[in-house]
Amino acid sequence: MPDKIRYYSTMGKAPEVEFAEALFQGQPPDGGLYMPTRIPKMDPSEIEELKGQPYRDVARAVLWKFLCDEMPEQELDRITSEAYNFEVPIERVHDRRHIIRLDQGPTASFKDFAARFMARTMQFYQRSEDSERIILVATSGDTGSAIANAFWGVDGFRVVVLYPKHEVSERQARQMNTLGKNVVAVACETKFDQLQANAIRAFEDPDLAKLRLTSANSINWCRLMPQIGYHFYAYTALEPEKGEPIVDAVSSGNFGNVTADFITLRMGKPVQRILVATNENDEFPGFMETGIYRPIHPSKACISNAMNVGNPSNMRRLFDLYGGQIDRQGMLHKMPNLDALRRDAVGMTVSDALTHITIQSVYEQYGVLLEPHGAVSWAALHRYCSLREEEPLSIATETAHPGKFPEALQAIGVEPDLPESMKGLDEKKQDFFELSEDYGEFKEFMFRLA
Ligand SMILES: *Cc1c(COP(=O)(O)O)cnc(C)c1O
């Protein structure tokens, strides 16, 4: 039997913890992020067996590798069946180029994959005699609604969701501020990066300890882990030849999405290249090119707004995977193995202009409707594959439903249908608080809430 997986801090100055502690604590006290002490392998025959299998079976098999010492198998089976009660369509766009639509969950973004799994996992550990926990989440748009929806009406949990007032679309805001019940929405007069800094400070603030704050941002390992499921499925569902490598283009903001894909590579998924696709917040592509890491501050407001992150939290995990170390301010302490990173991945920046053109041309040429985040990874895929002599098997993540971004699609004269789950949203009553970027004010607010 291999060792039980425990979780260590990427900064190396906090004790290792068990899964449940990493789950509720969110982040270690030393400013690092939790990583598994061992990345389990899927051997080629196991991957073969998963080819053509439905989503929840693939997700269960892959996640079982991480959770086999944590819960009974039928519990994981229940969690995956309940969490993944929606379709995960894969469309061929042309040649061997595909998109995976991760937008069929209740809040119409891929964040549902992690949020729904995490809520059910926390429920599994939360006992009825435990006092209420507050899930605090800072969001650039989609995390907040996914988490709020996943915990909505769940006993023992309250959700406080902070969003940047001017950086989320009208519909994204409505998905958070029309829920009510145990969900408290807060519109803030600042940028996502500042909100995230406030949230992180709150988790570490001893004055707030009695609120039992729990993080649901992708700094939490349990937000990242479930995403390993769809990156595996993107491969097994295409049923490649045994061992045939794939090219994955991954829309990247806070880097949870793409770090999960790097983990599938470590687990044994055959990958030719991971294309790390960013918008104009291009600190990572810049690093890949020059070896110098420079957070973008302040972050740029691009149309793929959920990717407007100038100092991605999960860079700590990604660098750790390659033997490097970076702190949460984006200061490099130890250089990752850049050669290895360059063998596995390519960083690609996609401008807003190219994002617009991509949405338009993919629609005109192939009748396929993309939204801005998916267009970023598609543009990266297109650039990469067009330069190859042999067309590789490839897939790009379409991370949200086009109906969430009607503003961005006006230019091509298409009014996308709303996903079923969002119908009626425009008529619902909104209810939210307003705060500035000031931490003191935010703290006051949290006290009043308690
Ligand atoms: C969050 C988000 C992203 C970026 O994912 P990260 O895990 O933060 O890199 C991309 N697209 C959409 C629609 C998102 O909501």
404 lines ligand 1 (CB under 6 A): no
Of 101, 113, 142, 163, the one to substitute when testing ligand 1's pocket (max ligand atoms within 8 A of C-beta) is 142
111 lines ligand 1 (CB under 6 A): yes
154, 188 Cβ separation under 8 angstroms: no
Q: Examine residue 268 and state whether it is found in any structural domain, yes or no.
A: yes
326 lines ligand 1 (CB under 6 A): no
CA–chain centroid gap for 415, Å, is: 26
E strands of 113-229, at which residues?
133-138, 157-164, 183-188, 213-215
255 lines ligand 1 (CB under 6 A): yes
Query: How far apart (Å, rounded) are the C-alpha atoms in residues 227 and 118?
Result: 11
Query: How far apart (Å, rounded) are the C-alpha atoms in residues 282 and 270?
Result: 26
In the block, residue with structure tokens 């009406």: 153
Of 254, 258, 283, the one to substitute when testing ligand 1's pocket (max ligand atoms within 8 A of C-beta) is 254
139 lines ligand 1 (CB under 6 A): no
Q: Examine residue 286 and state whether it is found in any structural domain, yes or no.
A: yes
Tens digit of each residue's pLDDT (9 = 90 or more) over 285-298: 999 999 999 999 98
Cα distance from N-terminal residue to C-terminal residue, the chain: 45
109 lines ligand 1 (CB under 6 A): yes
Tens digit of each residue's pLDDT (9 = 90 or more) over 196-226: 899 989 988 999 989 999 988 878 999 999 9
Q: How far is the CA of 424 from the centre of ligand 1 (A)?
A: 25
Query: How far apart (Å, rounded) are the C-alpha atoms in residues 345 and 339?
Result: 10
227 lines ligand 1 (CB under 6 A): no
373 lines ligand 1 (CB under 6 A): yes
pLDDT reported for residue 422? 85
φ, ψ dihedrals at 240, nearest 5°: -70, 170
Query: How far apart (Å, rounded) are the C-alpha atoms in residues 211 and 227?
Result: 28
Q: How far is the CA of 373 from the centre of ligand 1 (A)?
A: 8
280 lines ligand 1 (CB under 6 A): no
Residues of the chain falling short of pLDDT 50 = none
355 lines ligand 1 (CB under 6 A): no
218, 273 Cβ separation under 8 angstroms: no
Task: Give kind and range of the element (H or E) at residue 8.
Answer: strand 7-9
Q: Examine residue 253 and state whether it is found in any structural domain, yes or no.
A: yes
Q: Examine residue 82 and state whether it is found in any structural domain, yes or no.
A: no
Tell me which residue has its CA closest to atom 15 in ligand 1.
142
What domain count does the chain have? 1
pLDDT reported for residue 169? 84
Q: Examine residue 361 and state whether it is found in any structural domain, yes or no.
A: yes
Print the SS3 string covering 178-211. Answer: CCCCCEEEEEECCCHHHHHHHHHHHHHCHHHHHH
Q: Examine residue 114 and state whether it is found in any structural domain, yes or no.
A: no
pLDDT reported for residue 80? 97
Q: Examine residue 335 and state whether it is found in any structural domain, yes or no.
A: yes
Task: State the DSSP string of 85-111.
Answer: -S---EEEEETTEEEEE---STTSBTH
Task: State the DSSP string of 391-443.
Answer: --EEEEEE-B-GGG-HHHHGGGT--PPPPGGGTTGGGSPP--EEE-S-HHHHH
Q: How far is the CA of 309 from the centre of ligand 1 (A)?
A: 10
Write the single-letter amino acid at 256.
G
* CATH code: domain of residue 363: 3.40.50.1100
Q: Which of 445, 373, 397, 15 is nearest to 169 (CA)?
A: 373
All residues at 6 or more sequence positions from 182 whose CB lies less than 8 Å from its CB, including other chains: 151, 152, 153, 154, 157, 158, 159
Q: Examine residue 161 and state whether it is found in any structural domain, yes or no.
A: no
Find the domain containing 367 and state its range: 88-108+223-412
Tens digit of each residue's pLDDT (9 = 90 or more) over 288-332: 999 999 999 988 999 998 899 999 999 999 999 999 999 999 999
Rounded to two decimals, what is the model's pTM? 0.94
